[in-house]
C-alpha cells in the first residue's frame, strides 16, 4: 500500500511510525519550517525530523489549494493518505486523489470535541473519559464517519501534556489496527457520527490562561491541568502575579472575597474562589523556575508569617 502521511507536531510522530510499519510511506507532508525559540531560528517540525531520519521525502507546501499541489500529490500515486494534526484543512480536490481516500487520527471520541484542541478542552470541561477515533475524512471539520475508536479514562490530576502523550500512543495503535485490517482484506465499516453530542474544541488562546477567582474552584483546577504545559495558568497571589503549574480544588466553605489568600503552608497556598478554594501546590514567579508552595513561601516570609 502506497501511503502519503500528513502531520506536523509531536503528537503525529507515533502514528507516522505505525504507518511506516504497516505500509510503504512514499512521502510525508508537514508544515513549513517556522521561527522558534529566543533566536527565532527556523525549526523543522517533529514529523519532518522523523521522516528525514528514515529517508522519506518531505513536502512542505504553504497551501494545498493550488493545482501545483494537486499535481504533486497525484504524482505520488497514493493508495491512502493519513492525516494526523497536519495543521491545514484539506480541500475536497485533495481528498479525492488517493485511491482509497484519506484517514484521520483525531484525539477525541467524536462527535465530542471536533476541532483544534480536543485534549485541552476535554480536561477543561471536566470530562472523565476521552479517546481516539480513526475517521474517514470528508469536507466538514472532523465530521467524517468513524472507522475505529478506542476509549481512555482521564486521570483525576492528569495534565494536558500527560494525556497528550497517552493519546498519541493510543492513536498510533488504533491506526495500526486499521491498517492491519486493511492489509488482511478486512475493510473497517465506517459509522456515521451521531448528530447529538457534537461540540467544538476551539484553539487555545494565551489570554485564557488568566484565572478568574470568582469562578468555582473545580473549574479553575481543571483549567490549571488543561493549560499545562501551555500556556500555563496564571493568577495573582497576595499581590504577585504567578504561573500555576499544579493545584487542586478544595470544597471549603468560606466567607472571603474571591482571590483572598486563606492559608499559606507547606501543603499549599489556598486561594478563595467563588465556590470553594484552590490549593496551589506548584507555582512560578516571573523570571524563575517552577517550585513547590513550600519553597515559594521560603522566599516570601511575609506570607509564611501571616
Got the DSSP string for 90-153? PPHHHHTSSTT-EEEEESSSTTTTEES-HHHHHHHTT-SEEEEEEEE--SSTT-SPEEEEEEEE
What is the C-alpha separation between 168 and 147, in angstroms, rounded?
Answer: 17
Is 192 annotated as contributing to ligand binding? no
In whole angstroms, how large is the CA radius of gyration of the chain?
Answer: 23
List C-alpha distances in Å: 121 to 16, 222, 226, 245, 256. Answer: 25, 10, 7, 17, 30
CB atoms within 10 A of CB 143: 15
Is 110 annotated as contributing to ligand binding? yes
Is 14 annotated as contributing to ligand binding? no
What is the C-alpha separation between 232 and 275, in angstroms, rounded?
Answer: 22
What pairs with residue 5 in β-bridges?
28, 82
Is 109 annotated as contributing to ligand binding? yes
Can you say which residues are annotated as belonging to the binding site?
Answer: 108-111
Residues annotated within a binding site for (6S)-5,6,7,8-tetrahydrofolate: 108-111
Amino acid at each position: 500500500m502506497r501511503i502519503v502521511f500528513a502531520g506536523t507536531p509531536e503528537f503525529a510522530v507515533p502514528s507516522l511510525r505505525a504507518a511506516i510499519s504497516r505500509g510503504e510511506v512514499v512521502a510525508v507532508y508537514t508544515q513549513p519550517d517556522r521561527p522558534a525559540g529566543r533566536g527565532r531560528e527556523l525549526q523543522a517540525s517533529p514529523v519532518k525530523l522523523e521522516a528525514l531520519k528514515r529517508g522519506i521525502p518531505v513536502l512542505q507546501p504553504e497551501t494545498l489549494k493550488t493545482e501545483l499541489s494537486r499535481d504533486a500529490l497525484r504524482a505520488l500515486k497514493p493508495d491512502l493518505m493519513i492525516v494526523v494534526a497536519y495543521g491545514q484543512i484539506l480541500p475536497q480536490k485533495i481528498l479525492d486523489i488517493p485511491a482509497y481516500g484519506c484517514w484521520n487520527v483525531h484525539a477525541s471520541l467524536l462527535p465530542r470535541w471536533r476541532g483544534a484542541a480536543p485534549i485541552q478542552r476535554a480536561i477543561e470541561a471536566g470530562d472523565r473519559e476521552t479517546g481516539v477515533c480513526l475517521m474517514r475524512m470528508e469536507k466538514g471539520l472532523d465530521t467524517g464517519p468513524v472507522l475505529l475508536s478506542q476509549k481512555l479514562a482521564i486521570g483525576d490530576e492528569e495534565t494536558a501534556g500527560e494525556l497528550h502523550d497517552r493519546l498519541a500512543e493510543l492513536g498510533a495503535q488504533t491506526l495500526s489496527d486499521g491498517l492491519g485490517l486493511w492489509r488482511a482484506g478486512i475493510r473497517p465499516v465506517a459509522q456515521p457520527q451521531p448528530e447529538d453530542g457534537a461540540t467544538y474544541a476551539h484553539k487555545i488562546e494565551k489570554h485564557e490562561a488568566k484565572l478568574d477567582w470568582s469562578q468555582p474552584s473545580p473549574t479553575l483546577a481543571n483549567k490549571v491541568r488543561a493549560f499545562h504545559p501551555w500556556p500555563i495558568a496564571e493568577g495573582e497571589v497576595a499581590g504577585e502575579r504567578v504561573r500555576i503549574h499544579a493545584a487542586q480544588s478544595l470544597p471549603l466553605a468560606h466567607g472571603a472575597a474571591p482571590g483572598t489568600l486563606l492559608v499559606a503552608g507547606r501543603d499549599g497556598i489556598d486561594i478563595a474562589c467563588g465556590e470553594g478554594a484552590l490549593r496551589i501546590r506548584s507555582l512560578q514567579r516571573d523570571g524563575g523556575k517552577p517550585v513547590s508552595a513550600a519553597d515559594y513561601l521560603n522566599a516570601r516570609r511575609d506570607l509564611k508569617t501571616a
